[in-house]
């Protein structure tokens, strides 16, 4: 047996060279909801990693146990994800996200209660190129659209939608004399009780274990089924398909390629103005973010 390679601690030898894949061209855009002073989404790129975070808006009148808001949380989480990947470039995306969540928990300081059910939280959508493959991670409702040589698919985490549908069913059983404000308040409190629970849904907040419940996978960037295009979306952008039906997922990729992420967001804003009857969110409009990646065909 040969001598151990002392360049790497035990168990940390990189399995592949990160960032050696065919060139990934990235375009992104992020815009706050019209009239909103702060954008609670963040898009970022750290070397071979791109990401999108969508902070959960806190309804007016609800306590969070925290002096910070969703905007603070997504900015800190994005920075901590970048640092975690830089420190351990061969770690899985799950592991890097868990480390980042734990670090942001410490960033809160003594004035916050990170175990409060309303503590700031965020969706996570990550894509990292490396070697001959691309890794991805999706946590909560920020979908990832993938074009693998003409076959378009969507990676999504449906657990929040499932939990909300169940809660709507429960709310429908309330007596008819319960006023709308009380109904809404009960729904928010019930949703909080399901956050980061086995039979609920998972989101980045203060519990690093949530990272290990993310939807993850790997795609090739060479040969059959190679990834050609990808779009990371907040729900304020994915509503172009899911709520307004402006086009299908393949059409969304085509529009974004031709008009850029800003063009896709512009189409959503026009739909929000022209078709308010199709809105299914409790907000008339939302922050919208898009990260669009294109990969050169391998030689």
Top pLDDT among 7 and 131 is at 131
The answer to whether residues 152 and 279 belong to one domain is yes
* Residue 165: predicted pLDDT: 82
- If one compares 52 and 224, the residue with the highest pLDDT of the two is 52
Range scoring the smallest mean pLDDT among 11-25, 124-138, 256-270: 11-25
- Which range, of 49-53, 122-126, 182-186, 271-275, averages the lowest pLDDT? 182-186
Same domain, yes or no: 212 and 288: yes
- Taking residues 89-101, report their average pLDDT: 97
Domain of 173 in residue numbering reads as 158-199
Is residue 98 domain-shared with residue 120, that is, in the same domain? Answer: yes
Which whole-number Å values give the CA distances from 192 to 58, 160, 161, in the listed order?
A: 11, 11, 14
* Mean pLDDT score across all residues of the chain: 88
Please identify, among 199, 230, 261, the residue that sits at the C-terminal boundary of a domain.
Answer: 199
Residue 103 falls within a domain, yes or no? yes
Co-location of 67 and 127 in the same domain? yes
Confidence bin at 77 (pLDDT 50/70/90): very high
230, 286: one domain: yes
Q: Take residue 292 and report the two structure tokens written for it.
A: 């669009």
One domain for residues 250 and 192:
no
Q: What percent of the chain has pLDDT over 70?
A: 85
What is the per-residue pLDDT across 209-222, written as a single tens digit (0 to 9) for each? 999 999 999 999 98
Per the domain annotation, does 14 fall within a domain?
Answer: no
Q: What mean pLDDT comes out for the span 80-108?
A: 97
Show the 3-state SS of the chain: CCCCCCCCCCCCCCCCCECCCCCEEEEEEEECCCCCCCCCEEEEEECCEEEEEEECCCCCCCCCCCCCCHHHHHHHHHHHHHHHHHHCCCCCHHHHHHHHHHHHHHHCCCCCCCCCCCCCCEEEEEEEEECCEEEEEEECCCCEEEECCCCEEEECCCHHHHHHHHHHHHHHCCCCCCCHHHHHHHHHHHHHHHECCCCCECCECCCHHHHHHCEEEEEECCCCCCCCEEEEECHHHHHHHHCCCCCCHHHHHHHHHHHHHHHHHHHHHHHHHHCHHHCCCCCCCCCEEEEEEEECCCC
Instruction: Tell me: do 44 and 182 sit in the same domain.
Output: no
Both 36 and 135 in one domain: the answer is yes
Instruction: Give the pLDDT confidence of 41-71 residue by residue, as tens digits.
Output: 999 999 999 999 999 999 888 999 999 999 9
Where a domain ends, among 199, 231, 266? 199
Same structural domain, 257 and 224: yes
Look at residues 294, 216, 208 and name the one whose alpha carbon lies nearest to residue 257: 294
Mean pLDDT of 111-131: 95
pLDDT at res. 285 = 86
pLDDT at 178 over 70: no
- What is the pLDDT at residue 91? 97
* Same domain, residue pair 151 and 165: no
Q: Are strands 49-55 and 122-130 parallel, antiparallel or unpaired?
A: antiparallel
Higher pLDDT, 21 or 283: 283
Same domain, 189 and 43: no
- Please say whether the beta carbons of 272 and 279 come within 8 A: yes
């Amino acid at each position: 047996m040969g001598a151990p390679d002392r360049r790497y601690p035990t168990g940390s030898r990189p399995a592949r060279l990160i960032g050696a894949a065919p060139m990934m061209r990235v375009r992104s855009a992020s815009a706050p909801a019209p009239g909103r002073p702060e954008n609670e989404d963040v898009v970022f790129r750290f070397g071979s990693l791109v990401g999108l975070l969508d902070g959960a808006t806190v309804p007016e009148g609800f306590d969070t146990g925290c002096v910070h808001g969703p905007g603070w949380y997504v900015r800190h989480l994005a920075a901590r994800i970048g640092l975690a990947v830089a420190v351990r470039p061969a770690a899985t995306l799950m592991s890097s996200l868990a480390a980042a969540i734990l670090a942001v928990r410490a960033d809160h300081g003594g004035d916050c209660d990170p175990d409060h059910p309303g503590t700031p939280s965020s969706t996570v959508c990550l894509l990292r190129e490396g070697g001959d493959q691309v890794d991805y991670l999706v946590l909560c409702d920020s979908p990832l659209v993938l074009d693998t040589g003409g076959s378009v698919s969507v990676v999504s985490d449906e657990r929040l939608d499932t939990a909300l549908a169940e809660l709507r069913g429960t709310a429908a059983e309330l007596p008819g004399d319960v006023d709308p404000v009380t109904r809404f308040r009960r729904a928010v409190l019930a949703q909080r009780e399901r956050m980061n629970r086995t039979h609920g849904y998972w989101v980045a907040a203060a519990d690093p274990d949530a990272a290990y419940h993310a939807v993850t996978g790997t795609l090739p960037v060479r040969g059959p089924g190679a990834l050609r295009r990808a779009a990371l979306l907040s729900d304020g952008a994915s509503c172009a398909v899911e709520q307004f039906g402006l086009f299908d997922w393949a059409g969304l990729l085509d529009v974004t390629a031709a008009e850029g992420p800003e063009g896709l967001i512009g189409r959503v804003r026009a739909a929000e103005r022209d078709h308010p009857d199709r809105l299914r969110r409790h907000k008339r409009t939302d922050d919208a973010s898009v990260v669009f990646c294109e990969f050169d065909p391998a030689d």
